[in-house]
Amino acid sequence: MKNIMELSNEKTKDTKYIKFLCNDNPNIIIRTEFGIGHYKFVDFKDLEGNLVLEFRLQQDQYYKDTDKINKNIGELCLLTIGQFLCVYSNLAYA
């Protein structure tokens, strides 16, 4: 079983590599139940002990659902590292 310090070091490594990806391409497109929105990476957050990535909905003339998304679910989008990597891998295929 890994001790707390080893887990913390692993989180730091994960954060470093994920942050590199986010800085290289901070924009993602996400389909929500209210339409498709353009989001931009803001920072890492701790949510109940879990590391998540914070994205903010962007006003973008190419995505007409922005106002509907913002009204119904807000501008904040939190993704786990796994969710982000899934979105990122889909971007790589596009």
Prediction pTM value? 0.79
Enumerate residue ranges in the chain where pLDDT < 70: 1-14, 91-94
Residues sharing a CB contact under 8 Å with residue 54, sequence separation 6 or more, in sequence order? 41, 42, 43, 44, 45, 76, 77, 78
Distance spanning both ends of the chain, measured CA to CA: 40
CA distance 30 to 82: 15
CA distance 70 to 29: 14
Would you call 75 helix, strand, or coil by DSSP? coil
pLDDT in tens, 23-47: 888 999 999 999 999 999 999 988 8
